[in-house]
Structure 1
Amino acid sequence: MPFKIVRDDITKISVDAIVNTVSGDLSEIGGVSAAIFKAAGFEKLKKACEKLFPIETSEAVITSAFNLNSKYVIHTQGPIYTKTHNGDNENLLYKSYINSMKRACENNCKSIAFPLISSGHYGFPKDEAIKVASSAIKDFIRDHDIDVYLVVYDNESFKISEKLMGDVKSYIDENYIDENILEFSNRERIYCESLDYDCQTFEFNPNLEKSFSETLLNLIDEKNMTDVEVYKRANIDRKLFSKIKNKKNYKPSKNTAIALAISLRLSLDETKNFLEIASYALSHSILFDVIIEYFLTNENYDIFEINDVLFSYNQPIL
């Protein structure tokens, strides 16, 4: 999954590079920055930084990560928030993310983890900081193969628009059936898993003429899309897409199948048919499915916005 939102301690996450927000002289600014210096080994990281300062706002430089789980620490000076220069603030913050990811790719990093840059001591409102971060990351991974993690502590960081959250809540209220009230038919078997997904619904379809892979390739041709467009829009990595495409009998997870349906901009009915080929179905007894159904019904295929809402409801993201 190229872009993932996680709740974690950035000093403990295992990635090739983590990003540290610093001042212009590359010194720590408290909060997450202080924690990174401490976990890496304060004196070691400080000496490494002293060889590289000063840096300008939005510039990014790279050092060893020393005692951290990552290989590198990428240091960037995020902008200090001021209401009178909001457009400039957003542009500089956008560049902080882009420049940090450039440093990672230049050093052959396959994964990078960000805190929410400038949202602490530098005063950037979290809802605005999230929008800029998501925009920069989406733009960058469109042309680069790197896994990006946005590390946050709580759901409060994600302030989705009141209208969208209100519409989603209304849809859930109207359509969600408590998971303790499940109706079983002769053709359905519902079971719960303890890993990535709470529940999955399977239907037995012995007479399907085409495999999931064949159906996917046909839909890509019908939509006049490229493979790269599809797996990028689905927020899945190239290797997984290649496996699905080239192994005729390969069965993806339900979440992956849904992500591909969103990437292909399938309607709700088309998505149900598409999932059926892989022996999955959408259920009103699963909150995750109801949220997905809301977006399909409203033809909103922005997988990153979908993930923001899923995250705010403590659901697995695509």
Structure 2
Amino acid sequence: MNVALADIPTLRQLYKLARLIPAEPTAAKYKHSGSLLDRVSLYQGTITALEVDAIVNAANKSLLGGGGVDGAIHSAAGRKLVEECRTLHGCETGDAKITKGYDLPAKHVIHAVGPVYSSHHTQTCAELLASCYRRSMELAAQNSQRHIAFPSISTGIYGYPVEDATHIALDEVRGFLSSESGSKIDRAIFVVWSDHDKGVYEDLLPLYFPLDGADPESDVKAEVKEGVKEEVKEEVKEEVEEETKEEVKEEKAPSE
């Protein structure tokens, strides 16, 4: 079943639903940006179901398909995808290339080649992984792709620690969306499959996309607080009405 963009919650909506917990102001790595809360999403499910402009494939250097997300995307897109990929003559680690989406609901696929993790070369791995996200967004902007969905690149068989990889992904996406080129992208979606990965993103997203700045009553928090107030008012109103009914009943009851 395909998933429309309108059915993918934004960070603002996730905050309202209390599925994201605001970070302490001192812990946040960036300043609050209300507009970015409407341009970033977290989605748990299969990336091949998304009806967006572009999905990112965690590809290998051959671009001819493999296991995990790579295999799932090639399988869902059909044979024409691998035929086009053959014309690209591979891709270097840290780089990305774009193709059509073919049988996928997504219009295009951006194939990003992440690094195989090595604890002996952590800085190099981090730079290459960051480059994957940056190059993917550059290609999306250059090709008028307004929506881009990312898997957690290199965290499968390539062995990149999920938390470390997530910090890199969030930092790169936040930086790019705040740039002039980033204004060409309306929505960046982080797609996870497992509950564990979802939990990591839920913990780290508020650090890179904080709910608000210095004013604790601003933006979404104020809306949430107002919603709670309305609920309390409604509960009090119901209690008062119930008590009034009971008093009226007692007054009408015949004396013994």
1:280 aligned to 2:226?
yes
2:58–2:111 contact (8 Å) kept in structure 1: yes
Give the counterpart of 1:58 among 94, 99, 104.
Answer: 94
Residue aligning to 1:148: 188
2:166–2:200 contact (8 Å) kept in structure 1: no
Give the counterpart of 2:170 among 130, 134, 137.
Answer: 134
Q: Residue 214 of structure 2 aligns to which amino acid in structure 1?
A: R
Q: CA 1:73–1:57 in structure 2 vs 1: closer, same or farther (change >3 Å)? A: same
For 1:1-318, list aligned pairs within 5 A: 1-41=38-78, 43-143=79-179, 144-145=182-183, 146=185, 147-158=187-198, 259=211, 262=212, 264-267=213-216, 270-271=217-218, 275=222, 280-282=226-228
Distance 1:69 1:271 in 2: 38
Distance 1:138 1:63 in 2: 25
Distance 2:225 2:65 in 1: 52
Distance 2:171 2:47 in 1: 21
Distance 1:110 1:98 in 2: 15
Distance 2:158 2:173 in 1: 20
What is the TM-score normalised by the length of structure 1? Answer: 0.53
Deviations 1:8-55 (A, max 9, x none): 2100011100011112111222011100000000x2111100111221
Deviating above 6 A after TM superposition, structure 1's stretches of 4 or more consecutive aligned residues are none
| Alpha-carbon distance, 1:275 to partner | 2.6
Q: CA 1:152–1:279 in structure 2 vs 1: closer, same or farther (change >3 Å)? A: closer
Distance 2:85 2:96 in 1: 12
Distance 1:234 1:132 in 2: 14
1:80–1:118 contact (8 Å) kept in structure 2: yes
What is the TM-score normalised by the length of structure 2? Answer: 0.66
Q: Residue 80 of structure 2 aligns to which amino acid in structure 1?
A: K
| Alpha-carbon distance, 1:68 to partner | 0.4
Deviations 1:122-152 (A, max 9, x none): 1111111111111111111112132100100
Distance 2:193 2:83 in 1: 29
Q: Secondary structure at the match of 1:11?
A: helix
Structure (1 or 2) with the larger CA radius of gyration: 2
Distance 1:234 1:130 in 2: 13
Q: How many residues align?
A: 185
Deviations 1:61-81 (A, max 9, x none): 100100001110001110000
| Alpha-carbon distance, 1:60 to partner | 0.6
* Higher relative contact order (Cα pairs below 8 Å, separated by 6+ residues): 2
